[in-house]
Chains A and B, each alone.
Chain A
Amino acid sequence: MIQIENLTFTYPGAEEPTLKNLSVEIEQGDFLAIVGNNGCGKSTFCKTLNGLIPHFTAGDMEGKVVIGGLDTRECEIGDLAQKIGYVYQDFENQIVRPTVLDDASFACLNFDVKDYEEKGRRALEMCGIAHKTDEYIWQLSGGQKHLLALAGAAALSPEILVLDEPIAQLDPAHARDIYEVLKTMNETYGKTIIVIEHHTEYIARYCKHVMLMRGGGIAWKLPAREALCRVEELQKSNIFPPQVTLAANRVAGGAETVLPVTVEEGKEFFGRYPQTDVAKARILDAPPEENTILEFENVSVEYRSVKGDPVRVLNDFNLEIHKGEKIAVIGSNGAGKSTIMKLMCGLLKPSEGKILLQGQNIKEMEMNELSQILSLVYQNPEEMFIKDSIRRDIEYAMKVRDVENYQKRTEGLLERFQLTDLQDRDGRLLSGGQMRRASLAIGIALNPSILLLDEPTANLDIATRKEILRTLSDMKNITDTVMIATHDMQLVCEWAERILVLSGGKLLKDGTREEVFNDREVMKEAGIQPPEIYQMGKEIRPEISCYTVDEFLRLFQREAV
């Protein structure tokens, strides 16, 4: 289906080629995952497939790319678009029409396909959003938008679909939806699917082959099972194999080459290893002093809606936050996580009830005072960069408040977040991980006693994610109360001391991870899944809950030191 021979590509002005002498063949009907650390050329590679390189993006291209018999260099982007569909990582910007059906059929219309509406409808059907056909784009949720972007690409019925990090911003339920759709496309409609993906659990469950890219070249392309078992090699490229595989590798001490990649396989595998009698219970940190720092009293929030009555996103909400707590807020997209955070910073005003910060009503506080105590780091770091260099961004809040030695403090922060070398660059032009670090530095510049983080680990590869986690634990001595809204259950399990589960604007559950994850009802209602390793643990020792790979390993003698 796809043949690539000796492909080398250099961006204009770049010294090193981004793709180096790359050759590969991808068969029809494959479900291929491309993995590799940030900046290894994955996205560039995908753009050579659909002809954007060399037709749209200038640069030096050598070698040959043949898609279904067409040489990309010799044919128009338009002809290629009918062979290969592409869904961007920032898929939101790929949707160009105001209504759903219109966007789905837009490509067909442009390419003069007579039954373009029918084609659009069929694509929506295929992607499972047929019930949204007549809606406007802004009425869709993030996951639905992604499905629409996919439908828009699939409407021309290309034989190949390429998706760049399809689930990076989605909650687990929506992520599964996307992959189920892709699976149907692959199995029922015989499409060749190529995804760039960090989440190896999904690779294990859905993909047929994995291609590892390293430094602009292809390290290998292997069947998915085999690929995921190459634990060391993957880790070297900042790819983390599924937790089950990782645990199995540790239990086996690297002695086995065939490792389990899913929970089902793990059951059989771990059964072969001796277990310890008593799993060590996790020693809980001493509960923090009951010192209420922030309080929600019967808070309700309404949003103006475009049609009809205002929408209630929070209803009679009560919450107490104590000094020193590490809180994770979880729940599906639209459950009200961001609303709570915005309320706390005074960016949103409650329509009923009040919020007390250190005993004072937020409503009566000046924004200036508030931001000294409380700071919010957006999900999208780009919106935090308002100056033209990160140094200026970090110092801005301190400078306008005439903080003493603000320059020294800025320097300290730059160092702490390893940004000193980048200080004069514009935040937007940094890599994902650097952007995230910079946004954290901006967030704590004023030494807030409460720090709010919205999805701090979204869109990051695992190495960067680890880095952020490390930074979070580093910050313990700066900011004592931290609240994170997230879909990342591994983060929740490794870090949080208190978990709030939200669903439909209500507080469904409030407790420790034991209390939350062992409550099946709540998990189901909120659409949350515990991390894979938890499920694995339950499979072999139903009475015990383990939340991290390390905890799981304590079940086995080999590791029980």
Chain B
Amino acid sequence: MKEKLSESIFDKISIDYIRNQVLKNAYGNDDTVIARLDPRVLLIWYCFFGIVPWFLDNVVLLICLFLFVAAAAYKAKIAPLVMFVFCLGVFSQTGYLLIVSLFFGGNAETIVPVLIMTLKVAIVSMASITVFSGLDPDRLANGLLWFGCPERLSFSISFAYRILPILMEEFQNILLSYRMRGKAPKKKGISGKIKYLIYQVKVIIQAFYPLLLNTAKRSRTTVEALELKGYRYAASNKEVKRMKLSSLKIVKHDFAFIAISVVWVFGSIGMSVTI
């Protein structure tokens, strides 16, 4: 089991694959129903589905909400890898509790609260995936800015999406340098596999030395360019913020989305009451 995992970590999930998935997640779904919504509407939507489930204990209602959020996530065309990480996350947050509490002498009753909790976690994380991955990074940044998030954060989001492909490629190339010139231990036997794993982790850590220096070189140009483009000047200018946000508009599409959400939530409540 462990061997399989270690293999899957470093062979199957190549950096190239991760890069592709992240890019896909960031840019590949900008034409979905979800992505076209106003970021502010989505953020409010997220506030509802990200907070309210914590206060609910009705299994039926939670399942209904879960289905709705799952449908939204489906519509947002989330990249498979991100979905996988999501499932893993839900399991590691609550799924393991189930096993552990059984181990400590729990019984069937334990399962219900844990199931409720799992559902809660699932709804909340799914809602966040839908909003944060489904939205175009730039629109998300603008939405957050509107709600008064620091300008630095919204800039960081846009910039992160800009720099990520570059960084990944560079990191990949450095790792390839290690692969071409280094000598990985043979992967035979358990100790061989462990040695291989340790070697890989060591290489990844060492790869940050060149990466740090190369990125430092880059960020100098970037910050100089930001200076020339008046970024610092804009950060303290309210007028600029207003201009940036004036592109946000709530249209019919957004109202439709709100309406569907409200109807579904009420429907679910009705259902949970009758059952």
Contact = CB atoms under 8 A, between A and B. Distances in A.
Interface of A: 50, 52, 56, 76-78, 81, 85-86, 88, 90, 92-99, 102, 106-107, 109-112, 114, 116, 136-138, 152-153, 304, 306-307, 345, 347, 367-368, 371, 375-376, 378, 380, 382-386, 388, 396-397, 400-401, 426, 428, 442, 445-446
Interface residues of B, number: 53
Interface stretch (B56-64, B96-104, B160-168, B253-261): B160-168
Contact of B237 (A92, A112, A401, A428): A112
A111 B174 CA distance: 38
B177 A386 contact: yes
Nearest to A342: B176
23 contacts: A52-B224, A56-B224, A76-B233, A77-B227, A93-B225, A94-B221, A96-B159, A96-B162, A96-B222, A109-B234, A110-B229, A110-B237, A136-B27, A137-B162, A138-B27, A153-B228, A306-B23, A306-B27, A306-B28, A307-B27, A307-B28, A375-B180, A376-B180
Interface stretch (B42-50, B106-114, B206-214): B206-214
Contacts of B243: 109, 112, 114, 116
Contacts of B219: 93
Given A50-B228, A110-B229, 6 more contacts: A86-B228, A98-B137, A110-B233, A111-B234, A307-B28, A383-B177
A93 B177 contact: no
Nearest to A155: B229
B227 A109 contact: no
Given A110-B229, A138-B23, A426 B213 contact: yes
B163 to A, nearest CB: 9
B184 interface: yes
A111 B230 contact: yes
Contacts of A77: 227-228
Contacts of A137: 162
Contacts of A153: 228
Interface string B181-203: 11110000000000000000000
Interface in B234-254: 234, 237, 239-240, 243-244
B229 A106 contact: yes
Given A304-B17, A386-B206, A52 B240 contact: no
Contacts, number: 149
B182 A383 contact: no
Nearest to B220: A93
Given A93-B221, A382-B214, A442-B181, A56 B227 contact: yes
B230 A81 contact: yes
Nearest to B203: A386
Contacts of A400: 181-183
Interface in B110-165: 137-138, 158-159, 161-162, 165
Chain B CB within 10 A, most for which of A138, A375, A428: A138
Contacts of A78: 230, 233
Closest 4 CB pairs of A and B: A110-B234, A110-B230, A397-B181, A107-B229
A96 B234 contact: no
B89 to A, nearest CB: 24
B178 interface: yes
A110 B218 contact: no
Contacts of B217: 90, 382, 428
B185 to A, nearest CB: 10
A162 B263 CA distance: 59
B177 A384 contact: yes
Contact of B225 (A96, A114, A138, A428): A96
A110 B20 contact: no
Contacts of B10: none
Given A112-B237, A368-B183, A386 B210 contact: yes
B208 to A, nearest CB: 11
Nearest to B243: A109
Contacts of A304: 16-17, 20
Nearest to A385: B210
A90 B210 contact: no
Chain B CB within 10 A, most for which of A98, A107, A375: A98
Contacts of A384: 177
A396 B181 contact: yes
Contacts of A446: 181
Contacts of B8: none
Nearest to B137: A98
A427 B176 CA distance: 17
A93 B138 contact: no
B210 A367 contact: no
Contact of A383 (B28, B214, B227, B239): B214
B176 A347 contact: yes
A445 B177 CA distance: 13
Nearest to A429: B213
Contact of A107 (B16, B161, B183, B230): B230
A111 B233 contact: yes
Given A96-B159, A98-B137, A386-B207, A52 B227 contact: yes
B226 interface: yes
Contacts of A386: 174, 177-178, 181, 206-207, 209-210
A106 B244 CA distance: 10
Contacts of A380: 173
A466 to B, nearest CB: 26
Contact of A112 (B158, B179, B210, B239): B239
A380 B217 CA distance: 13
Contacts of A138: 23, 27, 165
Given A347-B176, A401-B183, A110 B210 contact: no
B225 A383 contact: no
Contacts of B27: 98, 136, 138, 306-307
A110 B226 CA distance: 10
A95 B162 contact: yes
Nearest to A398: B181
Chain B CB within 10 A, most for which of A102, A114, A385, A426: A385
B182 A396 contact: yes
Interface string B17-45: 10010011001100000000000000000
A237 B254 CA distance: 64
Given A52-B227, A367-B184, A112 B234 contact: yes
A90 B227 contact: no
Contacts of A96: 158-159, 162, 222, 225-226, 229, 231
